[in-house]
Amino acid sequence: MGGVLSYFRSLFGQREMRILILGLDGAGKTTILYRLQVGEVVTTIPTIGFNVEQVEYKNLKFQVKFFIA
């Protein structure tokens, strides 16, 4: 029974995922995030430390965490 409910939820419900992005300064981590959120490339200032954002894209909900390495 639980499998059937999970199947219908995957078809009609919103799926949630967590993503961790690591990279060097100026690699484009924030640019990719805001491209998914806004739908276009926006000018950003350098991130200091880390950032956590919620992004909804199509039928997926992402919690994106990225760190400066």
Binding site residues for GTP, as ranges?
23-30
Distances (CA, A) of 33 to 40, 50, 54, 57: 10, 13, 9, 11
Q: Give the CA radius of gyration of the chain.
A: 15
Specify binding-site residues for Mg(2+).
30, 47
Specify binding-site residues.
23-30, 47
